[in-house]
Structure 1
Amino acid sequence: MTKLSVNVNKIATLRNSRGGDVPNLIKTVKDIESFGAEGITIHPRPDERHIRYQDARDLKEVVKTEYNIEGNPIKSFIDLVLEIRPTQVTLVPDAEDAITSNAGWDTVKHKDFLKEVISEFKRNHIRTSIFVNPVVEMVVGAVETGTDRIELYTEAYAHAFAEGNKTGIQPYIDAAVAAGKAGLGINAGHDLSLDNVKFFKEKIPGLLEVSIGHALISESLYLGLENVIQLYLGKLNS
């Protein structure tokens, strides 16, 4: 089984654009879980342009499935995660002004830093995951940090798939095989969609979870949120 974790950043972005509370993030998260999603993902950034730190706290009392908080492990983020103690923390090396995540960790170069941060989260019984590019060397480096899982950064796959190039999946297969041999759990995310998620899931051994936000919310504008979640679940577990 591959779990679907819905990233709700775009719901917060829409809310914040008018300065009020529509759409209501809490209600939307409750609905998403009731529609069958098996996790909720948020990615609070320091400027709080979508998910606010208070949202992260409020959702702790709401999320009944898996709660995944993504972000760059600066001090304020680390403190927030340790306060909330979600199911999982996903470490992402994005700059503070990044529009969206655009690269995985160099797990060799940053091994000591990641090892220190991860050990603190694990002492607090929080499952850890590292955002990585589909490069075997980076997977091997991740093992040495002590992380529980990796999250494969799937933008390159999605771009190749959209151009009809299915060979773009091969680096992800290689990375997943290396992760499996090393005992790491495998997550994936970024630009996965209804068009490409089924092929990805079928080819990646041991895929535990996908985190999908932008595409899922965009697709829901046409097809409806409940319907889209059911479509994803069908593609992930058929």
Structure 2
Amino acid sequence: MHEENLKLGVNIDHIAVLREARKINDPDPLMALGVCAQNGADQITIHLREDRRHIHDEDVRRILESSSLPVNLECSINPEIIDIVCTLRPHRATLVPEKREEVTTEGGLDVRGQYEAILNAINKLSENEIEVSLFIDPTNEAVELSCKLGAQWVELHTGTYANVYAMRHSALPHSHHAIETLRLSRKELDSRLNGSYEVIVDAANKARMLGLKVAAGHGLNYQNVKSIVDIDTIEELNIGQSIIARSVFTGLATAVSDMKALCQR
């Protein structure tokens, strides 16, 4: 039996990305809060990166003061960032890996390799009564270590699934030779797509069995999200880029409500 009401967290970082393109104060991410709340969003998600490439400290402060929805603040395990998060006091902190040169987060936390640093961050956040989620690759080891560390949530990285889905459903060539090759690549892509999906299912089931709350995100869009919605042990999705991209053409209200409609079970 599917759980009702899969929650949708809308990541509004890309509004700040557009603002930073001109280094001015327009568009203001704060203006998205009411639109998201009125059109089905259950949470606002933002990422305070170490290099402040989009969301700034003052954005976080204003959003926390103004949002009628819970705010999920993504951040690295850098002690200075953790101190800032403890001062700002979001509803939840999601700890994510972060590299300065990456365009977007490329994978889950190295939970084993950074175990002590993650534990220190979790302890500090917990002392300040901030709920903690770990953004992890969908593996049993990562899930088990997240439970051992004392996180309340895990957010499963769906990027591999999203990338394979995009390759599998891209435009296809029509020459005879290409079609012969395509039969093999389609079969391989189908196998990879199924495999990348099944590891998400297995990790979500494992996490729920251990008593963790389960979210998922990264690369999810209007085309690939339905299969993830069908995983009944996942209770929340965090989606940003595809919603903000669609809003350029449809407006933010429609973009959010369209995604929320796809989240119905």
Aligned to 1:231: 258
What secondary structure does 1:101 align onto? coil
Aligned to 2:184: none
Distance in 1, Cα, partners of 2:58 & 2:50: 12
Paired residues for 1:65-214 under 5 Å:
65-162=69-166, 163-164=168-169, 165=190, 166-167=193-194, 168-202=196-230, 204-214=231-241
What secondary structure does 1:176 align onto? helix
Task: Using the TM superposition, give the Cα deviation of residue 19 of structure 1 relative to its aligned residue in structure 2, in angstroms.
Answer: 2.2
What secondary structure does 1:237 align onto? coil
Identity %: 31
Task: Using the TM superposition, give the Cα deviation of residue 75 of structure 1 relative to its aligned residue in structure 2, in angstroms.
Answer: 2.4
TM-score normalised over the length of structure 1: 0.94
Distance in 2, Cα, partners of 1:72 & 1:128: 12
Aligned to 2:243: 216
Task: Using the TM superposition, give the Cα deviation of residue 123 of structure 1 relative to its aligned residue in structure 2, in angstroms.
Answer: 1.8
Task: Using the TM superposition, give the Cα deviation of residue 70 of structure 1 relative to its aligned residue in structure 2, in angstroms.
Answer: 0.4
Task: Using the TM superposition, give the Cα deviation of residue 39 of structure 1 relative to its aligned residue in structure 2, in angstroms.
Answer: 0.8
Aligned residues between the structures: 237
What secondary structure does 1:195 align onto? coil
Distance in 2, Cα, partners of 1:5 & 1:236: 11
1:62-98 deviation per Cα after TM superposition (whole angstroms, max 9, x unaligned): 1111101101121231122101111110000111332
- Preserved CA contact (<8 Å) 2:50 2:76: no
Distance in 1, Cα, partners of 2:32 & 2:153: 28
Pair 1:47 & 2:74 matched:
no
- Preserved CA contact (<8 Å) 2:13 2:47: yes
Distance in 2, Cα, partners of 1:150 & 1:40: 17
1:183-223 deviation per Cα after TM superposition (whole angstroms, max 9, x unaligned): 11101111001111111110x23212111111111122223
Which structure has more RCO (C-alpha within 8 Å, separation ≥ 6)? 2
Distance in 2, Cα, partners of 1:115 & 1:22: 38
- Preserved CA contact (<8 Å) 1:30 1:62: no
Task: Using the TM superposition, give the Cα deviation of residue 104 of structure 1 relative to its aligned residue in structure 2, in angstroms.
Answer: 0.7
Cα pair distance change 1:110/1:46, threshold 3 Å:
closer
6-15 vs 44-53, which deviates more?
44-53
Distance in 2, Cα, partners of 1:79 & 1:122: 12
TM-score normalised over the length of structure 2: 0.85
Amino acid at match of 1:192: L
What secondary structure does 2:66 align onto? coil
Unaligned runs of 5+ in 2: 170-189
- Preserved CA contact (<8 Å) 2:79 2:121: no
Unaligned runs of 5+ in 1: none
1:48-69 deviation per Cα after TM superposition (whole angstroms, max 9, x unaligned): 1211111111111111111011
Aligned to 1:18: 22
- Preserved CA contact (<8 Å) 1:111 1:142: no
